[in-house]
Amino acid sequence: MKKIVHIIGDLSIGGTERALSSLLINFPNKELKYYVISLSGNGYFSDEIKKAGIEVFDLNLKGILTLPKNILKLIFIVHKIKPDILQGWMYHSNLIVSLLKYTFIRKPHIFWNIRQSLYSLQYEKKSTVIVIKILKFLSRYPDKIIFNSEMAKNHHLDFGYNASKAIVIFNGFDTNFWKFDAFKRTKIRSEFNITENDLLLGYVGRYHSVKNVTLLLEVIAELSPDYPFLKAMFIGKDLVQENEDFNKFLNLSNSNKIFLLGNESDIPGYLSAFDCFCLCSNSEAFPNVLAEAMSCNLYCMSTNVGDVPLILGNFGCIVPPNDKELLRKAIIFWIENHFSLKENGRRARERIKNNFPINKNIADYASIYLS
C-alpha cells in the first residue's frame, strides 16, 4: 500500500481546501493510504477529513517563537509515516515538500499542486512572490506539477516553470452534494425577509483585492434605486459589515438589500437561495465556486479569467475583468430576462455533470499516484 502525505497551508473554508477534502473523502482506492498535515492548525475541513478515517496532523507554523519546534515536529511526523509520495498544495507547501525530500535516505516522490493563475505578481504578498520565484528554479525536480487549469499551467510555463513536469487535472464535483434544494431556499430567504418577488444576486468567496468584490458591491449599490426588488448576498471570509472598505456601499437606502454574512458552512443551501451568481475576479485558475453554482441550477455571470470560458460554456455571461460598465449591463440583462435565463441554469448543471464529474478527478489522481 502506498502512503501519501498531503501538506497544505490550512484547512479553513476555501477552494483548495475543499478540493483536497473532496478528493480524499471520495477516493475509494484501497491501494493508497492518505495522511494530511495542516501547517497552520485546525480548520473547517479538518473534522470532515478525520471522519473519513484519514489522519490529520494540525501544526502551528505561524508563531515565530514556536517555529523551530514545529519544523522539527513536521520532520518527525513525516519520517514516522515513511511516505512513498509527498504532495504539496499551493506554493509554500510545494516548497516545503521539496525540502523535506532531502531529509530522507530513501527519497519519496514529490508532487506539486498549483491552483492559481499568474496574471500579475502585484496581487501576491512579498513572501509569496519570493516562493514563486524559488519554485521556478526548483521546478525540474518534482515528479509532477499538477495544475487545475490550462490557464494556470500556461501562465507558469511562460514564467519559466518546467514544461516536462506539468499536467492538468481539472477539478471535479459531486453533483449529488452540489444541487438545488427548494426547502433550504425557502428557509434562508425567509430568514432575511427575501420574497420570491425579489431577485437575489449572490457571491461566494474570500475578501481579497484579486477578487474585486468592491466593484460588484459598487454596481449593486448604484442599481439599487432603479431596481428596488434587487438584493445581493455576499458570503466568505471578511465579507462582513465591519469591513471598512464596504462602508460607502452600505447606506440606509440599501441596508436591507445588501447582506454581508462572512463565512457560512452550508454553501449549497445559500446557492439554492440565490437567483443568480456573479464572479468578479481579476485572476482565477479554475474557480470551484463557479462550477458549484452552476451545479445548483444557477445562471452565472463571470469575468473572463482562468478557465471560466471552459467551465461556463454558452450557459452564462462573461465580461472582461474590472469593466464596471459591462458588468453593470450584464446584471441589467439578467434582471430584465431572468425568467428565460433560468433554463440556462438548468443546462449549466448538466454541463458540470458531463464535463467535470468527481469520478474523473479521482481517476486522474489515482493514475499518477499508482504509476
Nearest to 116 by CA among 263, 282, 239, 274: 282
CA distances from 81 to 47, 55, 78, 258 (A): 21, 11, 5, 49
Give 25's contacts (C-beta < 8 A, 6+ positions apart): 48, 49, 52
Q: Name the grid cell of 296.
A: 445548483
pTM of the model: 0.90
What is the fold of 2-172+357-370?
Rossmann fold (3.40.50)
Strands of the sheet with 299-303, listed across from one edge: 258-262, 230-235, 199-204, 276-279, 299-303, 317-319
**How far apart (Å, rounded) are the C-alpha atoms in residues 264 and 267?**
7
- Per-residue confidence of the chain (371 residues) as pLDDT tens digits? 889 999 998 888 788 888 899 889 887 667 889 999 998 877 788 888 998 889 999 887 765 556 677 788 889 999 999 999 999 999 999 999 999 998 888 889 999 999 988 888 887 888 889 999 999 999 999 999 999 999 999 999 999 999 999 999 999 999 999 999 999 999 999 999 999 999 999 999 988 888 999 999 999 989 988 999 999 999 988 887 777 777 777 765 566 888 999 889 899 999 999 999 999 999 999 999 999 999 999 999 999 999 999 999 999 999 999 999 999 999 999 999 999 999 999 999 999 999 999 999 999 999 999 88
Question: Could you tell me where in the chain the CATH 3.40.50.2000 domains are found?
Answer: 2-172+357-370, 182-355
Collapsing DSSP to helix, strand or coil, 199 comes out as: strand
Residue type, 76: F
Q: Name the grid cell of 167.
A: 499536467
**How far apart (Å, rounded) are the C-alpha atoms in residues 222 and 224?**
6
Q: Is the dihedral of CA 303, 307, 310, 312 positive or negative?
A: negative
**How far apart (Å, rounded) are the C-alpha atoms in residues 202 and 274?**
6
CATH number, span 182-355: 3.40.50.2000
Q: Name the grid cell of 109.
A: 516522490
**How far apart (Å, rounded) are the C-alpha atoms in residues 219 and 96?**
42
